[in-house]
């Protein structure tokens, strides 16, 4: 038991040390060339990937892999179709597989543009559903899973000057990340007590209306992505020379 506790403590200390090392590495983008700066910022985002499992306390970034959402409500009403569902204890995995497709820091317009690609997000949890599909009452409860494949995210933000001379620093604010998906699949176990034919009809409807399902979970994922991009980029930009950035051609 003592050996186990020793290894556990060492593991925690190593995770904290790695997070601190990552936070300090953000301060190395001290360049006076647009392309080199953008490449450095991309490397900064890419270096973040393994730390999503541990969080970065120095940047107040929580653990994002996996991501947890306590509950979501889904309501779809359209004529003969009326579905009400509650999803609970959602666990979202896959964010740490993101790739940074581009980062463009524009000193003239003082804007920041970021592109991310996430191959797949998988959501698991439990559901409770009832409603009406055409003339067919639908009901079910149990475990579920959803996969979002091919997630293309694009974010924009502002680069401003904070503080007073000679302590001026660059600050990133108003970050907004939006995203679209290529494909989505939903599976609800135990629909109609496990009836395969009736269950398939509901699955067909849900998968054909994936944008509505995505719409319920999207705001929380957006909030986490906004927070992640803004805090990481803000820390990197806060260490850049203000004059060199704003006066660069």
28 falls in which pLDDT band (50, 70, 90)? low
From its phi and psi, is residue 70 left (phi > 0), alpha (psi between -120 and 50) or beta? alpha
Residues 185-211 have a mean pLDDT of 79
Average pLDDT over residues 116-132: 90
User: pLDDT tier at 246 (50, 70, 90 boundaries)?
Assistant: low
Helices 210-237, 34-48: inter-axial angle, 10-degree rounding: 120
State pLDDT tens for residues 82-102: 778 888 999 999 988 999 999
Spatial separation of the C-alpha atoms in residues 213 and 90, rounded to whole Å: 14
CB 69 within 8 A of CB 90: yes
pLDDT at residue 8 in the model: 31
pLDDT at residue number 88: 92
Domain ranges of the chain: 2-246
Average pLDDT in the 19-47 region?
Answer: 71
113 falls in which pLDDT band (50, 70, 90)? very high
The arithmetic mean of pLDDT across residues 150-170, rounded, is 83
* Residues 191-217, mean pLDDT to the nearest whole number: 76
At 107, is the secondary structure helix, strand, or coil?
Answer: coil
Q: Is the CB of residue 188 less than 8 Å from the CB of residue 201?
A: no
| CATH number listed for the domain at residues 2-246 | 3.15.10.30
pLDDT tier at 150, thresholds 50, 70, 90: very high
**Mean of pLDDT values over 241-248:** 64
Q: Which residues pair with 116 in a beta bridge?
A: 100, 153
Averaged confidence pLDDT in the chain: 77
């Amino acid at each position: 038991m003592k050996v186990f506790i020793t290894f556990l403590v060492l593991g925690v200390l190593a995770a904290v040390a790695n997070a601190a090392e990552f936070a300090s590495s953000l301060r190395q983008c001290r360049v006076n060339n647009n392309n080199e700066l953008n490449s450095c910022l991309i490397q900064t985002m890419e270096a973040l990937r393994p730390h999503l499992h541990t969080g970065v306390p120095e940047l107040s970034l929580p653990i994002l892999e996996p991501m947890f959402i306590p509950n979501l409500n889904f309501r779809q009403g359209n004529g003969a179709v009326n579905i009400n569902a509650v999803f609970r204890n959602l666990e979202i995995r896959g964010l740490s597989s993101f790739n940074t497709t581009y980062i463009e820091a524009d000193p003239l317009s003082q804007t920041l543009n970021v592109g991310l690609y996430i191959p797949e997000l998988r959501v698991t949890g439990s559901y409770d559903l009832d409603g009406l599909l055409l003339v067919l009452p639908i009901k079910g409860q149990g475990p579920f899973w959803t996969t979002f494949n091919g997630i293309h995210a694009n974010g924009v933000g502002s680069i401003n000057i904070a503080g007073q001379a000679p302590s001026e620093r660059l600050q990133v604010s108003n970050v907004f990340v939006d995203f679209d998906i290529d494909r989505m699949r939903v599976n609800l176990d135990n629909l109609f007590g496990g009836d395969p034919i009736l269950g398939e009809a509901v699955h067909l409807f849900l998968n054909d209306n994936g944008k509505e399902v995505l719409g319920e979970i999207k705001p929380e994922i957006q909030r986490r992505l906004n927070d992640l991009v803004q805090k990481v980029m803000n820390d990197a930009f806060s260490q850049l020379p203000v004059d060199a950035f704003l006066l660069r051609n």
